[in-house]
Amino acid sequence: MAKEEMPSTSKDFEELQRKLSLLIESIQNNSKMVAFLKSPVGQCLDRHPFVGLASLVFVAVSAVPVGFFLLLVVLTSLAAFVGVIVLEGLVIFVGGLSLLCVLCGLGFVSLAVSGTIVVSYMVVSSLVNYWFSPRPLTQNPSGDDLLATKATASEGRRQE
């Protein structure tokens, strides 16, 4: 039964690979992407993909704390118009320090997540290449041939 499912799985992987290659090709042929990749930032990210991935994860993860901080700034600014200027400065100072601590923590988390993603990608990619790579059929040498090969190799070592 597993042999019947194998061609289906192989066809599914081929279809997925075809779709992904079309998607990647359409992204690479986009004029804005070509212009970005020719810029100094794009060339740096092209040479260091881990930095790009870590930056992307950091920006995605830090969007919520930065949004909360900006909301806090707006609300305290509105309170300052009412007359609570000293409190506003204190709250913004404490909020800024807490935002700094949160962003430092998120920086370390984003590096860990990026590392995990890269390692997972490498492991899954090598496993898929190992499982679905075409292998030539080879005949294993018989036991006598294997013993003769070992005996010849050990005699060569003794003569040296």
Per-residue pLDDT band at 105 (split at 50, 70, 90): very high
Q: Helix, strand, coil shares of the chain as percentages rounded to 5? A: 90, 0, 10
- Single-letter amino acid code for the residue at 32: K
**% of the chain beyond a pLDDT of 70:** 77
**CA 34 to CA 17: how far, in whole Å?**
23
pLDDT at res. 1: 46
* Length of the chain measured in residues: 160
**Mean pLDDT of all residues in the chain?**
80
pLDDT at res. 114: 93
pLDDT at res. 145: 53
Mean pLDDT for the stretch of residues 138-156: 53
Mean pLDDT for the stretch of residues 47-51: 89
Name the burial class of residue 113, with classes exposed (0-12), middle (13-18) and buried (19+) by CB atoms within 10 angstroms of its CB. Answer: middle
Per-residue pLDDT band at 34 (split at 50, 70, 90): confident
Half-sphere exposure of 27 (CA within 13 A, CB side): 7
Per-residue pLDDT band at 70 (split at 50, 70, 90): very high
Per-residue pLDDT band at 97 (split at 50, 70, 90): very high
Output the six-digit token pair for 45. Answer: 């990210």
